[in-house]
Amino acid sequence: MFSSLYPIAYLITLGALTGWFYFRDNEQKAPLFRKVFFGALLAYAICWLFASGSFSYKFAVLLRELVLLAILPFLLSMFRKVTWAYFAILVVSVISLKKWYFPELGSTFPQEVLAEAVQVDESAELLIEVREGHSLNEVQPILDRFGITATPAFTMAHPEATDLDDYFALDVPSANAELLYEVREVLRENEAVEWLEANEMIFVGPEEATTARTTRRRFGFNDPGVTQLWGFEEMKVGEVAKVLAGTEPKKLALIAILDTGVDAGHEDLAANFVSTKSRYDIDRRGHGTHCAGIAAAVSNNGVGIASFSPNNKHVRITSIKVLNDSGFGSQKTIINGMLEAADRGADVISMSLGGPSSDRQQRAYQKAVEYANKKGAIVVVAAGNSNRNARNYAPANTPGVITVAAVDTLLNRASFSNTVEDLKWGVAAPGVAIYSAIPGSKYGLKSGTSMATPYVAGLVGILKSLKPSLTTEQVYNILNDTGKKLKTGKKTGKLIQAGEAVRRGVKGGGVRDEG
């Protein structure tokens, strides 16, 4: 509570003091602004006193705020008799504060966010990046002071292509919110530390669905479960086979499902599946298998369901297990999965996972995306299922990914789906009552942006099979240009249209090679 009230109380205090200085000769207005100032100042003091954080940090914050409280009103008061100059300085000050200072003010006490909004991995609570030209030895005294164990955070085949080899995972013994916050602040002051962020926990839990909209169309497939794939009708999947007729792919694109594992022996996946590691080929939760079926189920084999590729010549799937059997994972395990998928030659990395983010910038995620892009992979991520803005959810908010919102059977935004209006590359796909594979060669219905994401990943896989050099931006432009406008507008982005997108991919229309 105090974290949220703190910036409001401070801004009112600053505004009231400015007004008091300006109207100090006005017998009616001056007392009013003076009362507001002291009331807001009292509220600010209470928020400061009870906000979480070490005393040294809170004292430094107090000095920062008092300096601004002294400078801005004094500066304005010097021009109070020159009205145009006063208001010109006021406008410039407000614009400058809004751009550079207000965001900092809103996150002054992020510890409560860290403790309440997200969970961190108890075996590795923090991730730090050691600055180039420095070493972990320079940080070791701090680690020893708190009894922290540091280990390399990430593993990749080509460390020269990224800075992620400079990251270390920190295990803070018996860590609580107060201790974590103190550790963060001490580390931030160390010259050898380039960056620090929480190693946040991720959990997947799609809503189970019991009924589905059915269709009488078969879209050219002989798979019996196709009539339950209502989204095929809305995404114009029936046109894909016609567009691809007589066209040979330039490669067999690999889609990596980063999830709870995949049932590699499933009757409707096995022929399209390639194993990365045997321990990834088991899925006790069922989430990864369901996503894999949506992305690349074997089409026209007379069993189960179908995917976008009618002749199975365009895509194959593999599994990278980044979540445990209960559906939990951490930022560290997910990023390592991204690196492994990229090193294994994945053309598409599909991540139906995510969670609220306490850090304003997910730098490690972004570096992992950049590494994957250099290897030729496109990263597709779920927007999240909290009915909020995806800009506050990671890795959905990571620059360089295509983020997927979910729509329901009426093409409204799914009630649970996060929105993507503030993200650069957001699109929509069906995500309610989606029929797909589950372990044991069975099938079932699930709902979530988790289900919408592999629809996009599967379509991107086909596009990459037709033109392997496609970049994320080029693929997004195809999906957006050919997508169907929805009444939900930018909150969901456009609904992908498989037939038209593949037609654009075959013709190369609107696709410009970079460089």
Question: What confidence score (pLDDT) does residue 201 get?
Answer: 87
Q: Determine which one of 287, 290, 350, 359 is catalytic.
A: 287
The verdict on whether 96 is a catalytic residue reads no
Domain covering 207-507 assigned CATH 3.30.750.24 in the classification: no
Here the tokens at position 400 are 């360089």
314 is known as an active-site residue: no
CA gap 280, 162 in Å, rounded: 25
Angstrom distances, CA of residue 87 to CA of 13, 28, 94, 408: 19, 21, 10, 50
Distances (CA, A) of 177 to 39, 47, 181, 182, 236: 30, 18, 6, 9, 50
Query: How many Cα atoms sit within 13 Å of 385 on the Cβ side?
Result: 20
Classify residue 39 by burial, with Cβ atoms within 10 Å: 0-12, 13-18, 19+.
middle
- Quick check: is 158 catalytic? no
Question: CA-based Rg of the chain, rounded to a whole angstrom?
Answer: 26
pLDDT of res. 33 = 86
Please list, in sequence order, all residues whose beta carbon lies within 8 angstroms of the beta carbon of residue 42, skipping any fewer than 6 positions away: none
**Average pLDDT along the chain, 515 residues, taken 10 residues at a time:** 68 82 81 89 83 60 78 74 76 71 56 49 93 95 94 97 96 79 90 93 73 75 94 95 92 97 98 97 96 98 95 96 93 97 98 82 90 98 93 92 97 95 96 96 95 98 97 97 96 97 81 42
Cβ atoms 355, 118 nearer than 8 A: yes
Regarding beta strands 378-382 and 348-351, do their DSSP bridges make them parallel or antiparallel, or are they unpaired? parallel
Q: What's this model's pTM, rounded to 2 decimal places?
A: 0.78
- 10 alpha carbon, distance to own chain's centre: 31
d(CA 503, CA 127): 44
Q: Which of 121, 163, 259, 283 is catalytic?
A: 259
If you classify domain 116-199 with CATH, what class do you get?
alpha beta
